Structure 1
Amino acid sequence: MSRHMEKWLFQSRVIAALALLLTLPFLTNAAHAARPGAAPPEATAVAQSVTCQPTSVTRPQPNLPRGFTEQIMYRGCLNQPTAISFNGNKTRVFVAEKGGKVWNCDLARPTCTLFADLGSEICNDSDRGLLGLAIDPQNDGNVYVLYTTAPATGACSGNVLTRGQLSLLTVSGETKLLPPAGSTHQTWCFYYTSHSIGALVFGADNRTLYVSAGDGASFDQVDYGQLDSACGDGTNLPQGAFRSQSVSPFSDGVILRITNPSTTSQRVSVVANGLRNPFRFARMPDTDDLYVGNVGWNTWEAIDHVSVAGQNFGWPCFEGWDPNNNFGPAPESEYQSSAYCGSVGGVTAPFFAYAHQSYITPEDSRGKGCGAKPSGGGPDQNGSVISAIGFTDGTSTTYPHPFKSALYFGDLLRKCIWTMQPPDTTPRTFAKGLQGGPVDLKVGQNGDLFYVDLITSTVRRITHR
């Protein structure tokens, strides 16, 4: 998280309170209510269901390329949605809420059935909560979730010791996978209100699961382990942000690969480290290449390309790229001065990066959009955070060629979405003037782009005529 996000964190608490007043009443303690693809919610006696406002066209429309239209799929029934994942035939979409509920929603009508409620297990505070969601591509009844756990004692508020949990949800309940139930070894450790767990993505084989997590360090101070000892990961410095350099027993600031999840042959390995806050990442269709939205600190937001196992993206010693040095990794001066960066080498530069003080495309600059206040100012007037990233595939029969099998990334604070066609690193503005901001981007029904808007508590779809 950038320092500019602190302002947004305060705003998000206000928005959360308003959302609770505006959404439909929720029943409590309803868990594991309905199997995906089961009978309609009203025919299932034990199921809690909600009816959302009818699908509608966004008014006013964001600025989109010719022929595109944004629709609001689910509104008035969700409370701070964070992630979506589609069932196998993309007739239904599962939606995770920050507070711990998972909804199974019908794409043919605006009705959602409660699949699980993990609220009692989750630390829902600031950037913590239920943030990762993935449906098993081979079994719609297997729902994988990633969340920040509640502290052992006391309230989950402010700086407090929390962990991460990867679990499998079925109609039978929750199976804790990483760490397993009863394990004395904790996979992740987080003390501050951000940089906790991130996203879940299945591999091309539909069996391998990738998992991301932030570095667990302070997001507003240089933190090489001198600020606290809450995680108890040793007294020898460095720790803090250097956990992303694999100097700690915790898997913070990395992307993990889990082969054969939820089986007796489950295996875990690190495929990328040196990441500050890989809140969202996506897999390029038909490959196992990962494109990581790495949330930046003072200067940069980056997209990192994981193409082989073992890549190090340099945080906290490097961040972003240096245009004056062939776009190689840019040294992070505040951490370079800590004297712990001498052994950090072999760093992979970002696939793409944008500076907080720069516009992303010439079009943004000319229109003073994507971040600037109406009176002018600059692109960082409202802050910068790469908050969503995803691919479309080649299944759409209506999207023009430049928008099929394309990479999309969004910035919640700039209220925009951009697109590009890797390996080309040239972005073009796709959507600007969004009502809220994207925190998850996925390809869905008919190859259309769907996104989760945390600020307005909606799920939206972008179609093309």
Structure 2
Amino acid sequence: ATAFAPDGRVFVAEKSGLVKAFDSLADPTATVFADLRTQTQDFWDRGLLGLAVDPAFPARPYVYVSYTLDAEPGGTAPRWGDTCPTPPGATDKGCVVTGRVSQLTMGSAGTAVSEKPLVTGWCQQYPSHSVGALAFGPDGALYAGGGDGASFTFADYGQAGNPCADPPSPAGTNLAPPTAEGGALRSQSPRRPAGQPVLLNGTVLRIDPDTGEGVPGNPFANSADANARRVIAYGARNQFRFGFRPGTSELWAGDVGWDTWEEINRVADVGDGVAENFGWPCFEGNARQAGYDGANLDRCESLYSSGGHAAPYYAYNHRAKVVASDPCPTGGSSISGIAFESGSNYPAEYSGALFFSDSSRGCIWAMQAVGGQPSPSRLVPFVTGANVPVQVLTGPGGDLFYVALGSGELRRVSHPGGTNRPPSAVATANPTSGPAPLTVQFDGTSSTDPDAGDTLSYAWDLDADGAYDDSSASAPTWTYAAAAAVDAGLRVTDSQGASATTTVRVTVGNPEGLDPVPVIDSPAGTLTWSVGQNVSFSGRAVDAQDGQLPASALSWRLAIRHCATNGTCHTHNVQDFPGVAAGSFVAPDHDYPSYLQLTLTATDSTGRTGSKTVDLQPKTVSLNFTSSPSQAMLTVGGTQQRTPFSRTVIAGSTNSISADSPQNLPPLNLKYAYTGWAHGGARTQNIIAPGTSTTYQAKYRLCWLLQPC
């Protein structure tokens, strides 16, 4: 996450728990502002994910963070580290953690000198939908959001041990319909009966930035429950990012969906004392969520009968284009950013537009305004091919910026028609090749700026370490002592702060084969895996200069490639294994189609790297669903379908199934009641996919006068 300070500083939060500060956008060197890695769990989608700067900074020297606290409810950090052992297993029973919003105080040296926790909560059983956005509102209050912390593979109502101690039973009890209140239903906790605890999951909080207490005037300000007093909206799956429409008290939030819909939700007035309920998990998009509807849960059934949930302002289907002509892939979808145009030099049609991003599709769209309000009828693609955009925000000059997680960059979208145009960077090197040691004369004086009167400053990255800190001269010299192929970089910045970069290749000696060569000895790419299977890995690397590299030079990364049926995929990084030549992991659960990707990276003594990747496909089985009589509507996971049908899943995966009852069956539309599954068990239950294809049959009887439903 990134946040711009009023004095020009730029704060960048890394998922690991590091917060870094740059003096300005032109500053090439970061200072570590705060190190929260010990208490932050950086695992799967957990980590330090939210960042905000006090509007009166630096007079009020506070930076605010939202992160996954590596501690169980009431416990101390660190509990698990950046991993989750088996047992309990990341997607089985889950490594339970919490979330935290803290105020960091900056000292005289420009770094954080203290952390003051403001809010701790957000019990999370599973490794996604953790904490999320932080933003200041026009009223000076701090707003915080978070996810449900529930399973993303089955309809979760607390049936896997209930470690968050949700009603009606204590922790360690497997909850069951219709009274279960756990799992994703934590997002509906403000609707619980009086005396039952209100949780932070799936809510938007409006809090005092100094105390963390709820602000007077909040919808539940008179509640005896401190969490309830903080809540102004609830019923979200994962409100990862949100923002305010300029000049209003409207909060707009992106909510990451499950199987079908991504949502943009709107709180019309954060100070009106009304708590919007966006309906998750009972609703997804504008419709009932099939997986939770089919479970006949009291908390959802009462919402269906009473109404009152707030429909999304806009929703888009995972299998549909946002704009019919855009080049963005469909299938996997994760809304990941919300920001409004404010004071830019963009063309007039973008005035007041709402920008939103999707990290899975790699795109940013603009919802242009009609009558001052963003209109779903005016959607246009704005940035395509973005490398995993996980945040969009407006910054200096009113330009739109976005965080590209895939490349580790903060990128700026400028319009050339503004009053200040960016320069053009040109770099030359003489000579461009030769034996070591090689002294090279660089020259950046051919760089130009199109605006009269602008002067250029120069910053060089001559050792190709990514930092433009080697020279500020327009034509420096540099001596290379060892054989290497170096992409020397030049960044030129004009007097208005606009910049441009370029590189020039210098070849020293014979660099062929200088990159280390990693070898993955195991597992082989032919391995197929089941959920819960222990998979061992081992590898090595050789280097032309260093020879056989030690284990400390090796690092492994395990990721899940989650794919749509059309073949488009996005990546979830699961875990890193640094400094080891061998190890093992337990294959996690995930929706199919998906596969595991294991990457070995080797780094030699000069910092050069080489990587090798092996893709590991899962063992799959067919779950076949029938009913007696046929044509019954059954729910598997988050979708409903009439029998007979089949689902391909990963062997060993957990799948929620439910037999809807009562229901009318075609072709005569007669009403039938559920009597049991042929294999036994409750009407709504979880099944573990066996190693071979299996048939599950739901049995029904006809409802009639002497035997009604």
TM-score range, shorter chain: 0.7 to 0.9
CA distance in 2, matches of 1:227, 1:314: 23
Structure 2 equivalent of residue 142 of structure 1: 62
Structure 1 equivalent of residue 262 of structure 2: 301
Larger proportion of helix: 1
Structure 2 equivalent of residue 430 of structure 1: 382
SS in 2 for 1:111: coil
The Cα shift of 1:232 comes to 1.7
Paired letter, 1:240: G
- Aligned CA distance change for structure 1 residues 107 and 154 (closer, same or farther; 3 Å): closer
Among 319, 323, 335, the residue aligned to 2:292: 335
Residue deviations 1:90-138 (CA, integer Å, cap 9, x gap): x221111000111111213322211111001101001100000000001
Residue deviations 1:288-342 (CA, integer Å, cap 9, x gap): 2111110000011111111143111111111112xxxxxxxx1111111111221
SS in 1 for 2:296: coil
Tell me which moved more, 284-293 or 398-407: 398-407
* 1:276 maps to 2:233: no
Please give the root-mean-square deviation of Cα atoms over the aligned residues, in Å: 1.6
* 1:261 maps to 2:209: yes
Paired letter, 2:405: L
SS in 2 for 1:200: strand
Among 219, 243, 246, the residue aligned to 1:285: 246
Point out which structure has higher relative CO (alpha carbons under 8 A, 6+ apart). 1
Paired letter, 1:121: Q
The Cα shift of 1:437 comes to 1.7
- Aligned CA distance change for structure 1 residues 404 and 111 (closer, same or farther; 3 Å): farther
Among 173, 190, 205, the residue aligned to 2:124: 190
Structure 1 equivalent of residue 392 of structure 2: 441
Residues 243-258 of structure 1 correspond to what in structure 2 (within 5 A)? Answer: 243-246=186-189, 247=192, 248-258=197-207
CA distance in 2, matches of 1:96, 1:418: 24
The Cα shift of 1:370 comes to 0.4
The Cα shift of 1:202 comes to 0.6
Residue deviations 1:340-369 (CA, integer Å, cap 9, x gap): 2211130111111110110111222xxxx1
* 1:100 maps to 2:40: no
The Cα shift of 1:264 comes to 8.7
SS in 2 for 1:122: coil
The Cα shift of 1:266 comes to 5.8
The Cα shift of 1:265 comes to 6.8
SS in 2 for 1:134: strand
Number of residue equivalences? 349
5+ long unaligned stretches in structure 1 = 1-82, 180-186, 322-329, 372-378
Paired letter, 1:269: R
Paired letter, 2:203: V
CA distance in 2, matches of 1:88, 1:384: 34
Paired letter, 2:45: D
SS in 2 for 1:338: coil
TM-score under structure 2 length normalisation: 0.48
- Aligned CA distance change for structure 1 residues 161 and 286 (closer, same or farther; 3 Å): same
- Aligned CA distance change for structure 1 residues 455 and 343 (closer, same or farther; 3 Å): same
Question: Is this contact kept in 2: 1:133–1:145, CA < 8 A?
Answer: yes
CA distance in 2, matches of 1:407, 1:224: 34
CA distance in 2, matches of 1:386, 1:413: 8
- Aligned CA distance change for structure 1 residues 342 and 385 (closer, same or farther; 3 Å): same
Residues 27-176 of structure 1 correspond to what in structure 2 (within 5 A)? Answer: 83-89=1-7, 91-105=8-22, 106-140=24-58, 141-151=61-71, 152=76, 153-155=79-81, 156-157=83-84, 158=90, 159-171=94-106, 172-176=113-117
CA distance in 1, matches of 2:30, 2:64: 18
Question: Is this contact kept in 2: 1:301–1:320, CA < 8 A?
Answer: yes
CA distance in 2, matches of 1:95, 1:145: 11
Question: Is this contact kept in 2: 1:233–1:249, CA < 8 A?
Answer: no
* 1:320 maps to 2:256: no
Bigger CA radius of gyration: 2
SS in 2 for 1:389: strand
SS in 1 for 2:412: strand
Residue deviations 1:151-187 (CA, integer Å, cap 9, x gap): 35344422211001110011321111113xxxxxxx3
Structure 1 equivalent of residue 407 of structure 2: 456
* 1:354 maps to 2:316: yes
CA distance in 2, matches of 1:225, 1:261: 33
Structure 1 equivalent of residue 150 of structure 2: 217
TM-score under structure 1 length normalisation: 0.72
* 1:370 maps to 2:328: yes
Question: Is this contact kept in 1: 2:352–2:374, CA < 8 A?
Answer: no
Residue deviations 1:434-465 (CA, integer Å, cap 9, x gap): 2x121111100000001111111111001111
Paired letter, 2:166: D
Paired letter, 1:350: P
The Cα shift of 1:403 comes to 2.1
Question: Is this contact kept in 1: 2:162–2:183, CA < 8 A?
Answer: no
Paired letter, 1:112: A
SS in 2 for 1:233: coil
The Cα shift of 1:279 comes to 0.9
CA distance in 1, matches of 2:212, 2:206: 16
The Cα shift of 1:228 comes to 2.5
Among 177, 185, 203, the residue aligned to 1:242: 185
CA distance in 1, matches of 2:254, 2:337: 7
Q: Percent identity?
A: 44
Question: Is this contact kept in 2: 1:438–1:453, CA < 8 A?
Answer: yes
Paired letter, 1:279: F
Paired letter, 1:193: P
Structure 2 equivalent of residue 74 of structure 1: none
Larger proportion of strand: 2
